[in-house]
Amino acid sequence: MAFEVILKKPEALTEREFTYCPGCTHGIIHRLVAEVIDELGIREKTIAVAPIGCSVFAYHFFNTDATVAAHGRAPAVATGMKRARPDLYVFTYQGDGDLAAIGTAEIVHAANRGEKITTIFVNNAIYGMTGGQMAPTTLLGMKTTTTPYGRSAENDGYPLHVAEIIKEARGVAFLARTKVNTPQDVVKTKKAIKKAFLAQIKGLGFGMVEVLSTCPTNWGIDPVSALKWLEQHMVPEYPLGVFVDKVGDEQ
Amino acid sequence: MSERVLVKGTEAIGEAAIRAGCRLFFGYPITPQNELPEYMSKRMPEVGGTFLQTESEVATINMVYGAACTGTRVMTSTSSPGFSLMQEGISYMACAQLPAVIVNVVRGGPGLGDIQPSQGDYWQATKGGGHGDYKLIVLAPSTVQEAVDLTYLAFDLADEYRNPVLIIADGVIGQMMEPVTFPEFRDLNTLPNHGSWALTGAKGREKHIVVSFDIDPYVLEKMNLELVEKYKKIEAKEKRWEEYKLDDAEVVITAFGTVARIAKSVVEQARKEGIKVGLFRPITLWPFPYERLEEISKGKKLIFDVEMNMGQMLEDVKLAVKDHAPIEYYGRLGGVVPTPDEILQALKSKLGR
C-alpha cells in the first residue's frame, strides 16, 4: 500500500517557526495566504510587505521575496514595488494598529488609486506587539492597557470600520470582511483571500480582506474563549460580508 | 555631442535623471520645487516611465523605498518641510542599503518658514536627519550645469554604494535658467544589476529579504558596522570640491551651492581692491573634504565662511581648519540671499579694513 500525501506545509511558507502566541489566529491567516499563493502558482513572482506589529516577522515566514515597511506605510511601499515592477505580485500583511491608525492615509489612497496590490488586514481590536494598548478597532467598553476603564466614545471615539470606509473608493476591485474562528469561516476567508489576489492578477484594482482575528494574550482569556469572544463581541460590531467584488465567480 | 540648451534648474535636474536611466518619480507638491514633478509628469510618459503624485511626503518616501527594493532607479524631490517628513523613510532606506536619489530644494525655516532660498537644512542633510547612525551622500550644485552633472552622477553613486544620495539645492538653483549641455541617454540595458539582493521574485533562487531591522542587537550591530565600513569607503573615494583662485590667496571664503557662486563675485571685487581672496567650495557636503580644506587653510590670514543659515557648515569648516587660521562667519537667514557687496563689506570689517 502506497502512502499518499494529503496535507503538507505550503511551499509559500518557510521552515521558520511562527513567533505568535498560542491561540493567536495569525498563524491560520498566514497559512491561508500561503495556500492561495501556491494554488495561484505565483510564489516566484510575489513580494510580501510585512508591517510593524506582531506580524513584523512575516518577512521570515512567507517563502517569497519580502521586506518590512515603516509603521503604516506598507501600502505605499507596495505601490512603489508594483509601479517599478508591474509584472510582480505584491501583497501587504497589516494589523489594525498599522493599517487603521498610523497608516490610514496610505491604505485609503492606495485603494482609491486602484493600486494593483493585495492587502490582508488582520483586525484583532488591540495592539499586540506593544503589549495590549487600545487600537482604533478596540470595542467600546473594552479594557486595554491604555483604556483601563474601558474604551469610552467620549474620550477615545468609536471603533473604526475600515472595510466600510474603503468600500467607497472606486479603485477597489475586491473587498470583504471575514473571520477565522470556525473551520467554515477559515474556508470562506481563504476564498476571499484568493479573490483579493485575483483582483491584482487580473489587473482589476485594489484587493483587500479584513480578517477578524483573536488575541488571547492581550484580551486576557484562553484561546477557546477568544474564538467565542470574537463571535459574541466583534462580529456584531464588524459585520461580515463581501463589500466589493469585481472579480466574479469564474476563477 | 549634445547641443547647449537654455533650461531652468529644476527641469534640468529632471531631464538629467531621465537621461541617467530613471523611469520612476514619486512626488508631492511643495514650493519651491514644483516645476520638477511637473516636468516629470509630462516627460515620464514620453520615455515609458511612471510619474505618480502621492498623498504625502511620508507616502512618497515609502514608495521610493518600495521601488528601490526592486533595484529600479527611482527619484523624488521635495522642499524642507517635506524633507523633514521623509526622514523616517530615509533612515530605513539607509539601513536597508537602498539606492535612490532625493532632491531637497531648501527653503527658509525652521517650521513653515517661507519659500525663499536657504541653506538651513545643511545639518539635517549631512548629520543624519532621521534616527540612528547613518549617512547620505550629499551633493550641492552651484550652477544649473552642475545640477545636471551631479544628478547624473547621483544615480551611479546610489547604485554603487547602495545608499540614498541627496542633491541639495535651493530656489536660486531651481528657478534660474542657464545654458547646459545634457549627457547622453543611458542605455537602460547597461544599468547596474542588483540581482544579488533586489526583490524581483524568488524564481530559481532563495528568497531575498530587504529590511532595516533585526531584533538581535549583535546582528544589528553587524549591520551597523557594515554601514560604517561603507561610509569609510565613500569618505576615501568620493570627496569633491572646487578651488577658485586659491594659489595666491591670503583669505579663503568657504561656501557651497548658491552662496559659492555669489562668493565668486566677491573674490573678483576683493581682488580689484587689492585683497587676495580665493574660494573653497565643497561639492560633496558629505563626505566633507576636511583634509583638503585643512591643507589650504595653513598660513592663511582668514577663513571666511559664508552661508544662508546660522553657520551650519561652519562646524565642519572648524573641524577641518582646526587652529591653522582664524575663522569668521557671515550669513543671512530666513530666505534672504546675501549680495556680493554685503559679503565683501562683512569680509573687510573682519579684516579690520
Q: Are strands B50-53 and B24-27 parallel, antiparallel or unpaired?
A: parallel
Number of C-beta neighbours around residue B135 at 10 A:
20
Type of residue at A231: E
Digits of tens for pLDDT over chain A (251 positions)? 789 999 899 999 999 999 999 999 999 999 999 999 999 999 999 999 999 999 999 999 999 999 999 999 999 999 999 999 999 999 999 999 999 999 999 999 999 999 999 999 999 999 999 999 999 999 999 999 999 999 999 999 999 999 999 999 999 999 999 999 999 999 999 999 999 999 999 999 999 999 999 999 999 999 999 999 999 999 999 999 999 999 998 65
Chain A residues close to B86, C-beta within 8 Å: none
Q: CB-based contacts of A240: which residues, under 8 Å, 6+ apart?
A: A176, A177, A178, A179, A212
Instruction: Tell if the CB–CB gap between A46 and B64 is shorter than 8 Å.
Output: no
Number of C-beta neighbours around residue A27 at 10 A:
17
Instruction: Tell if the CB–CB gap between B199 and A67 is shorter than 8 Å.
Output: yes
Among B52, B59, B209, beta carbon nearest to A106: B59
Asked whether B150 and B283 are in contact (CB, 8 A), the reply is yes
Residue B331, phi then psi, degrees to nearest 5:
-150, 160
3-state SS of B136-176 is CEEECCCCHHHHHHHHHHHHHHHHHHCCEEEEEEEHHHHHC
Nearest-Cα distance to chain B for A147, in Å, is: 28
Instruction: Tell if the CB–CB gap between A47 and B69 is shorter than 8 Å.
Output: yes
3-class SS of residue B8: strand
Retrieve residue B290's grid coordinates. 576636511
3-class SS of residue B351: coil
* Count of pairs with CB atoms under 8 A, one residue in A, one in B: 122
Chain B residues close to A49, C-beta within 8 Å: 66
Residue that has been written with the C-alpha cell 530587504 in this structure: B210
Instruction: Tell if the CB–CB gap between B26 and A80 is shorter than 8 Å.
Output: yes
What is the DSSP annotation of B265-315?
HHHHHHHHTT--EEEEEESEEES--HHHHHHHHTT-SEEEEEESSSSSHHH
Instruction: Tell if the CB–CB gap between A69 and B208 is shorter than 8 Å.
Output: no
Chain A residues close to B209, C-beta within 8 Å: 59-60, 65-67
What is the DSSP annotation of B161-227?
HT-EEEEEEEHHHHH-EEEEEPPPPPPGGGSPP-TTTS-S--SSSPPPEE-S--SSHHHHHHHHHHH
Chain B residues close to A68, C-beta within 8 Å: 211-213
Nearest-Cα distance to chain B for A103, in Å, is: 10
Q: What is the pTM of this model?
A: 0.97
Asked whether A67 and A59 are in contact (CB, 8 A), the reply is yes
Rounded CA-CA distance B254/B174 in Å is: 22
Asked whether A58 and A30 are in contact (CB, 8 A), the reply is yes
Nearest-Cα distance to chain B for A148, in Å, is: 29
What sign does the CA torsion over B140, B141, B147, B149 have?
negative
**Looking only at Cα atoms, what is the longest distance across chain B?**
74
Digits of tens for pLDDT over chain B (353 positions)? 568 999 999 999 999 999 999 999 999 999 999 999 999 999 999 999 999 999 999 999 999 999 999 999 999 999 999 999 999 999 999 999 999 999 999 999 999 999 999 999 999 999 999 999 999 999 999 999 999 999 999 999 999 999 999 999 999 999 999 999 999 999 999 999 999 999 999 999 999 999 999 999 999 999 999 999 999 999 999 999 999 999 999 999 999 999 999 999 999 999 999 999 999 999 999 999 999 999 999 999 999 999 999 999 999 999 999 999 999 999 999 999 999 999 999 999 999 98
Among B96, B201, B207, beta carbon nearest to A45: B201
Among B56, B92, B199, beta carbon nearest to A70: B92
Q: CB-based contacts of A78: which residues, under 8 Å, 6+ apart?
A: A47, A49, A69, A90, A91, A92, A110, A115, A117, A119, B66
- Residue closest to B257 by CA, chosen among B347, B324, B331, B346: B331
